Amino acid sequence: MTDETELPGQVALLWGLRETVRRGRKPSLTVADIARAAVEVADAEGLAAVSMAKVAARLGNSTMALYRYVKSKDELLLLMSDEAMAERPDLPDGLDWRTALTLWTQGLLAGLRRHPWTAQIPISGPPVGPNNLWWFDRALRALGDTGLDEGDKVGVVMGLITFLHGRLRLGIELSAGYAENPEAFGGQYGRALTRVADAHRYPALNKVIAAGVFEGDVGYDEEADGAFGLGLYLDGVAAFIERRTVGPE
């Protein structure tokens, strides 16, 4: 029971733990090279443009050479989703939990904005890559001195991550769509809705439209919602911490 529980292959892959080899031709690539090249393609041309052939070409190898490093394209996608979070900002220690989590969120979102395609990669399991775990650890650390027990900390962080994944999809993906196709938004949006959503069946929606909320651009104001939705969640966390630390102990 000391050591050799076999690691799930994908975990080993993410951490670069390949058995040191003796015989045979030397590898000309590393798994990390491949992940980086794939991320570059996705950043430049979108996730749909990531093909084994294109990634291989960027590395100066043939398509099939990649399969010596990666079992399938799905494995490559897994690598990419860890590589996308590779940029780790400086997060100073010793801040109060709310400031720390706000900075953490901003840092994470900044990274995700650089790789908006992460939202399109299906999630196949809990986080196991080194970069994902680093972010997880830093969020837990921010809650270090709140007096919450470890299980509650995980709950709070999971909730926050949950929120951010939604933010990624709605905010970032939506603004990417906006950048590509502004005429679908703009004043047209509210006007199209009135044409189609009659007041009888959608009363609350029509009240919003009548109040002019959708006038002008609907480009999803990052700043506003970032402060808004996240702020509300953190308010809830604050209330939770108070409840927990006043009650027991």
Partner DNA sequence: CCCCGATGCGTATGGGCTACGCTATTTGGC
Partner DNA sequence: GCCAAATAGCGTAGCCCATACGCATCGGGG
Q: Which residues bind DNA (CB under 7 A)?
A: 21-29, 49-54, 61-65, 67-69, 72-74
Under a CB-based contact definition with an 8 Å cutoff, are residues 218 and 175 in contact? no
Q: Where are the alpha helices (DSSP H) in 126-221?
A: 130-142, 150-167, 174-180, 186-196, 203-210
- Binding to its own copies (CB under 8 A) within 225-244 occurs at 225, 228-229, 231-237, 239-240
With CB under 5 to 8 Å by kind, the binding choice for 124 among its own copies, DNA, none is: its own copies
Residue in 34, 109, 119, 148 binding its own copies, rule: CB under 8 A: 119
With CB under 5 to 8 Å by kind, the binding choice for 158 among DNA, its own copies, none is: its own copies
In the complex, least distance from residue 116 CB atom to DNA, rounded to whole angstroms: 19
Q: How far apart are CA 47 and CA 120, in angstroms?
A: 8
Kindly list the distances between the CA atom of residue 92 and the CA atoms of 89, 118, 138, 168, in Å, as whole numbers in the listed order.
9, 26, 10, 24
In the complex, least distance from residue 131 CB atom to its own copies, rounded to whole angstroms: 12
Neighbours of 238 (CB within 10 A): 13
DSSP structure class, residue 169: I
Kindly list the distances between the CA atom of residue 185 and the CA atoms of 178, 180, 190, 217, 236, in Å, as whole numbers in the listed order.
7, 11, 8, 7, 32
In the complex, least distance from residue 30 CB atom to DNA, rounded to whole angstroms: 10
In the complex, least distance from residue 78 CB atom to its own copies, rounded to whole angstroms: 11
Does the protein bind its own copies through residue 167 (CB under 8 A)? yes
- Binding to its own copies (CB under 8 A) within 13-32 occurs at 15
- Binding to its own copies (CB under 8 A) within 35-74 occurs at none
Kindly list the distances between the CA atom of residue 231 and the CA atoms of 58, 105, 182, 221, 227, in Å, as whole numbers in the listed order.
42, 11, 28, 15, 5
- Binding to its own copies (CB under 8 A) within 170-229 occurs at 170-171, 173-174, 177-178, 181, 183-185, 188-189, 191-193, 195-197, 201-205, 207-208, 211, 213, 218, 224-225, 228-229
